[in-house]
Structure 1
Amino acid sequence: MIARIWHGKTRIEDYETYTEFIKKTAIPDYSKTTGFVKLSFLRNIKDNEAHFTIITYWKNVEVIKNFAGDDFEKAKYYPEDDDFLLEFEEKVEHFEVFA
């Protein structure tokens, strides 16, 4: 299994609104993708910014391409992210899951 980790940050004022966006848009998008196993959605406030981390779990690297495309290391963003995110990290991280 492969864990795919994405991070984003918003202004504190957008903390709850962006959380709702993730729950209504991103999570269903992950969940309907062939090869998706599960996810963890983490959030916190640090240094006067709201931070969001989504860890998705996939059967293997090949099925991640069903979600992210052939350049599976590239972060996937939604048009609405332009209204919230303070920066757009280009890449996500991938790890083999052993336990």
Structure 2
Amino acid sequence: MIARIWRGITLAEKADAYLDYLRETGLRDYAKTAGSRGVKVLRRIQGEHCGIMLISLWDSMDAITAFAGENPDRSVYYPEDEQYLLEMEPLVRHYEIVDIADSNMLPPSS
């Protein structure tokens, strides 16, 4: 399994609207792509800025290529992203998932 990590920064006042836009665009496209195993959406508000990180999980690099196109290391952007994002990172990061710690496997706390 492969994790694809994308990061973006928006103004804190636009964060909720941008997350709604992500749900209509990228997150919807993730879900429609064969080999997608879901996505975690993280956000961190710091003063007037909001950092957003998407960690999507994929069966293979072929599945990622089906979503992202010929160069899977390139970020995928949608027409209105420029209205929200302060920076447009050109590349994403991919990591092979080698282990998963499942909280269901931990002993109950006393």
Q: TM-score higher than 0.5 here? A: yes
Instruction: Give the aligned partner of residue 34 of structure 2.
Output: 34
Q: How does 1:1-99 map to 2 (within 5 A)?
A: 1-99=1-99
Moved segments of 4+, more than 2 Å: none
Query: What letter matches 1:20 in structure 2?
Result: D
Describe the superposition over 1:5-38 as per-residue Cα deviations: whole angstroms up to 9, x where unpaired: 0000101110111111112222111100111111
For 2:49, give the aligned amino acid.
E
Whose Rg is larger?
A: 2
Alpha-carbon distance between aligned partners in 2 of 1:31 and 1:65, rounded to the nearest angstrom: 14
Greater RCO (Cα-Cα under 8 Å, separation 6 or more):
1
CA RMSD of aligned residues (A): 1.0
2:44 aligned counterpart, secondary structure: strand
Distance 1:83 1:12 in 2: 13
TM-score (norm 1): 0.94
For 1:48 and 1:14, the matched residues in 2 are separated by: 10
Unaligned runs of 5+ in 2: 100-110
Unaligned runs of 5+ in 1: none
The alpha-carbon deviation at position 43 of structure 1 amounts to 0.7
Residue type at the aligned position of 1:96? E
Percent pairwise identity: 37
